[in-house]
Amino acid sequence: MAAGMKARAAAALMRIRPGGLDILALPAFRNLLAAGVMFDFSGNLRLAAQSWVVLDLTGSALWVGLSAGARGVPAIVFGLFGGVAADRFPRKAVLAAGWTVLAILAVATGLLIVTGEVEAWHIVAFSAATGTVIAFTLPASLSLVASLVPGTRISNALGLTSLSWSSMEMAGPAIAGAMLAWATADVVFWVVAGGYAAAVIIIMRVREPERQRAVEKRSVFADLREGVSFVRRAQPLAVLTVLAFLQNLFAVAIMPLVPVYARDVLHAGAAGYGLLAGAMGAGFLCGALTISAFGNFRRKGLTMLLSGLVWDSGAAAFGFSRSMPLSMTLLFIVGFSGPFWHNAAVSVFQSRAGDQMRGRVMSVWGIASEAFPIGWMVGGALAVTFGNEQALIISALCGTPVALLFFLLSPSFRKV
């Protein structure tokens, strides 16, 4: 009996190890992952710092949401063009150019802060510029993952890239909170600029495989129409696009409220903000670790529905917590559910497109996912209009019930 249990445990470990770790033997993927770590660290550090700076300047949750949400508008407007660029040009070159621009924007923000000239609208404008860059880099990044990793390991690779983002989601705000507690905000943005520069250096080491491209000369708009037409035909991509857009827009009110609760409800200051955001990041980290270890979850539609339910329930409960330990626990639970939802959705998109079309297909996903920062604006507006707790309840009601409706009405979504 004991020997049989040991054998089964050993077999389970062997199943985990290849799915989660063997793709790290690919040098190109390792470099891409390392570059992604630096990019994710810089992005999360920037977002945490800018949220605190804007809150300090305005005292308004609406402005906090606006500073983050301004990124989403240009990312949506230019997202399809980013997909065309990812299919026409070397993807690592697109990433290097975009991340260089982000480093320059971080330097400009630091200079405004150190000279005392920074105003809230500056942060909003830089956030919009960041969104324009992301419109081009997000499809290139997601497409490059699939170019470097065998198709059977895409879910594991996405788990590891989610692990990178989740780790930095935890580390970025915690580091930002510590730095803001003992240094001025401009120091944070110097570190952000350095992180983006490091990401550029690492991504240039990636050996991107050659891929066949269309010989005939076609207009950008012809390529764009081809990508949109493909997504419309390849169900459930169209259904997932609409669902992801709606959920990212209306079901993430918790995001701009974390610094508000840290300062005004829990009275924990900048350090407490770092702890709260870090707890959510730790949840993301553990969720991503689970995915990268265990690999592909077959029922992706059901995974999205259940993980969304956990997110919504935890966020609504957080709104009524007045205890720092309880609030951190709830944010951990919310964070843990996030990678499951994201990984399931992205895996479906990745599996439906060939390499020649992948950039344009992933740009459609990018448009849906970039509703997420706009959702910060929506959450801030809901909080200002109805109150913090009510905003989180409304957000939850716009999440799971909507997903359940899509699940019941769309056979392709149920079966995926």
User: pLDDT digits over 51-77, tens only?
Assistant: 889 988 998 878 888 888 888 889 888
Residue 369 domain-assigned (yes or no): yes
Q: How far apart are CA 123 and CA 64, in angstroms?
A: 10
- For residue 398, the one-letter residue type is C
- Are residues 231 and 245 in contact, defined by beta-carbon separation less than 8 angstroms? no
Number of domains into which the chain is organized? 1
- Provide the CA 238 distance to its chain's centre, in angstroms: 20
Determine the 3-state secondary structure of 276 from DSSP. Answer: helix
Looking at the domain assignment, is residue 1 inside a domain? Answer: no
Is residue 318 within 8 A of residue 310, CB to CB? The reply is no
Q: Residues for the chain: how many in total? A: 416
Residue 130 lies in a domain: yes
Percent with pLDDT over 90 in the chain: 45
Q: Rounded to an integer, what distance in angstroms lies between the CA atom of residue 360 and that of residue 230?
A: 9
Whole-number pLDDT of residue 7:
44
Give domain status of residue 232, yes or no: yes
pLDDT given for residue 296 in this prediction: 63
CATH of the domain at 334: 1.20.1250.20
209 phi and psi, to 5 degrees? Answer: -65, 150
Residue 294 maps to a domain: yes
pLDDT single digits (tens) 80-96: 999 999 998 999 999 99
pTM for this prediction: 0.78
Residue 44's closest CA among 132, 142, 138, 171?
171
Backbone angles phi and psi of 183, in degrees to 5: -140, 170
Residue 14 lies in a domain: no
- Measured CA distances, 48 to 110, 185, 209, 364, 371 (Å): 14, 11, 36, 27, 18
Q: Is residue 309 part of a domain?
A: yes
Q: Which pLDDT does position 11 carry in this prediction?
A: 44
3-class DSSP state of 71: coil
**Domain span including residue 119:** 25-205+220-415
One digit per residue, the tens of pLDDT, for the chain of length 416 reads 444 544 444 444 344 444 455 677 788 888 999 999 999 899 989 988 898 899 889 988 788 888 888 888 898 889 999 999 999 899 999 999 999 999 999 999 999 999 999 999 999 999 999 999 999 999 999 888 888 877 667 767 777 777 777 677 667 777 887 888 888 889 999 999 999 999 999 999 998 887 766 555 678 888 888 888 998 888 899 999 999 999 999 988 998 899 889 989 999 987 888 889 888 888 888 887 887 777 667 789 999 999 999 999 999 999 999 999 999 999 999 999 988 998 888 888 888 877 778 889 989 988 888 888 888 888 888 998 999 999 999 999 999 999 999 999 999 999 88
Q: Is 376 part of any domain?
A: yes
